[in-house]
Structure 1
Amino acid sequence: MNAIHELVMQSSGEQELNIKGVKGPVSVGVDLGTSSIVLIVTDAKGNPVFAASRDADCVKDGLVVKYLEAVRIVRELKAQAEEALGIELTEAAGAIPPGTYGNNKRAVQNVIESAEMECTAIVDEPEAAAYAMKIRDGAVVDIGGGTTGISIFEKGKMVFSEDEPTGGTQMTLVVAGALGVPIPEGEKYKRDHHHEKDTFVMIRPVIDKMAAITQNFIERYGKKVKKVYLVGGATNFEEFESVFEKRITAQILKPEYPEFVTPLGIALKSAEQKKECEESA
């Protein structure tokens, strides 16, 4: 994840990160989240060279519910990346939550293809996150807009997966209620880093519930988990992991830019799968 940090440091904005002059083949990861859509591009060595996100409510409970809007946003992010990097993006990979099959999986593929890119792969979100962070053993807790999900890995294989409907949306509802403002204004306030300390006081009980959900998942798994990795845009508060540390005995780890972990893993994982296919052909 150091490469993400370096990419951010070279950017003047928080929502668009890019390095000009990329050469050679690239891989693209598209993450259709509950509260945002993220597109990330990696070069032939797996280094991220572009990342951008856009607020969106096109997905609910892992399902694409606003198809045309999702396509429009992915097209705009694609154009943004092409302009920044000076290349044409022709392929991309997407991801789905665990247990998503059939038409739901196909919908993610259709969004990518409707944005005029060939869909090279659809991978599992937790496996993508684990791949990006090089996790072989431990738990990945992905806190998105709608759910808190956990995936536990042993020797690089996912052996346990669960989720519950508590996420960033619940945080927004609490903030809006506390301030007495409409939900969209509550969401805007929550995302404003200038209000982070005040926001954290309001949403701390929600984060504690997420920690309790995670603790229950680990107990249900029935084995000791030494490390818990927190990812997802909803974890982007400085004191977030401290709440988990009070409930869970495992080491709690959070990357510096948790919102980019899954899309980075999507790009990297799809590049590896493509390479394996080419070598076996």
Structure 2
Amino acid sequence: MKRQSMKACNQFVAEFEKVIKKPKRHDSKTYYTGIDLGTACVVLAVLDENYKPVAGAYRYADVVRDGMVVDYIGAVELVRELKEEVERKLETELVYAAASLPPGTDELDGGAIKNVIQSAGFELTNLLDEPTAANQLLNITDGAVVDIGGGTTGISIVENGQVVKVADEATGGTHLSLVIAGAYKFPFEAAETYKRNEKNHDELLPSLKPVIEKISSIIIQQTQGYHVEGIYLVGGTACLKNIETIIEKVTGIPTYKPSNPMFVTPLGIAVSCTNQVLT
């Protein structure tokens, strides 16, 4: 594992967490925005002209399911609200944005994601798959970036700094919440909230282990035939305490995760944003 790379990633995420609470208002010729339309959470990350974090906002929502926009109007309104919220804090207009989608879904939903971003008032400059976006921040040259989202698990295999394979399968945080809802007789929304509280993770892990093992088997299947030196976990579901321990044990591959995996992909998307509009 490239410790320097993970250290730099953690520092970047820590800086972003600070500016969510206290935005950095200063003169910048332009701002670059990354928008992560997740199944459980929508995150907006803003960088200045030097690609340093200056502001951000996020909201838990149900406008996307399994990587597909299911509430188009709701998604547009939510992104517009987050945009306006950050614009007020920075006292500026946000123009350029990049976005992402699960690997292999561009033909199915790339148009919808693009339209959401544009309808919310942004100029779209880039659209890339989620694990590849995450690697903009991780800077892994050899390994598998695994983005465990709410509905799907996306995998990007990197060899010698080049993405050689991307894949996406339908298992993620939603499946963990369904298990919790069944075990505790909770409504689904209550299970989601219970899962997000780290204080409950030790208690939940035994019940959730079968789903994590299923995610591990997806990783094994998708990385077969490739030389994978390490697995790097990102995405909101990767916030689950000790998920990396179970995945490493099942796959037999060293597994790492940043200090806050939830913000790696949106920040990677923002890093990939430019001032050249996508045609």
- Which of 219, 234, 238 lines up with 1:235 in the alignment? 238
The reply on whether 1:255 has 2:258 as its aligned counterpart is yes
Instruction: Give distance in 1, aligned partners of 2:103 and 2:15.
Output: 31
Contact 1:37 1:54 in 2 (8 A): yes
Residue 63 (structure 2) aligns with? 58
Residue 12 (structure 2) aligns with? 3
The reply on whether 1:94 has 2:103 as its aligned counterpart is no
**What are the residue-to-residue correspondences of 1:1-281 with 2, within 5 Å?**
1=9, 2-8=11-17, 10=18, 16-24=20-28, 25-102=30-107, 104-219=109-224, 222-271=225-274, 274=276
| Deviation of the 1:274 alpha carbon | 4.0
Instruction: Give distance in 1, aligned partners of 2:268 and 2:15.
Output: 17
Contact 2:40 2:60 in 1 (8 A): yes
Query: Could you list the per-position Cα deviations for residues 218-244 of structure 1 after superposition, in whole angstroms to 9, with x for gaps in the alignment?
Result: 22xx03210111010001022111111
Contact 1:20 1:86 in 2 (8 A): no
- Change in Cα spacing, 1:80 to 1:178, as seen in structure 2 (3 Å) is same
Instruction: Give distance in 2, aligned partners of 1:141 and 1:260.
Output: 14
Contact 1:35 1:57 in 2 (8 A): yes
Contact 1:232 1:258 in 2 (8 A): yes
Instruction: Give distance in 1, aligned partners of 2:101 and 2:217.
Output: 24
Query: Could you list the per-position Cα deviations for residues 192-215 of structure 1 after superposition, in whole angstroms to 9, with x for gaps in the alignment?
Result: 233222222321221122112212
Instruction: Give distance in 2, aligned partners of 1:23 and 1:5.
Output: 22
Instruction: Give distance in 1, aligned partners of 2:78 and 2:130.
Output: 20
Contact 1:18 1:51 in 2 (8 A): no
Instruction: Give distance in 2, aligned partners of 1:154 and 1:20.
Output: 37
How many residue pairs end up in the alignment?
A: 268
| Deviation of the 1:103 alpha carbon | 6.0
Secondary structure of 1:158's partner?
strand
Secondary structure of 1:77's partner?
helix
Secondary structure of 2:210's partner?
helix
Instruction: Give distance in 2, aligned partners of 1:21 and 1:258.
Output: 26
- Change in Cα spacing, 1:45 to 1:118, as seen in structure 2 (3 Å) is same
- One-letter code of the match for 2:236? G
Higher relative contact order (CA 8 A, sep 6+): 2
- Change in Cα spacing, 1:247 to 1:117, as seen in structure 2 (3 Å) is same
Secondary structure of 1:270's partner?
coil
- One-letter code of the match for 2:165? F
Contact 2:31 2:95 in 1 (8 A): no
Query: Could you list the per-position Cα deviations for residues 42-73 of structure 1 after superposition, in whole angstroms to 9, with x for gaps in the alignment?
Result: 11222222222211121123221100110111
Unaligned runs of 5+ in 2: 1-8
Unaligned runs of 5+ in 1: none
Secondary structure of 1:51's partner?
strand
Instruction: Give distance in 2, aligned partners of 1:227 and 1:52.
Output: 31
Query: Could you list the per-position Cα deviations for residues 99-144 of structure 1 after superposition, in whole angstroms to 9, with x for gaps in the alignment?
Result: 2234621211111111111112212222211111112221011111
Secondary structure of 1:19's partner?
coil
Instruction: Give distance in 2, aligned partners of 1:268 and 1:253.
Output: 21
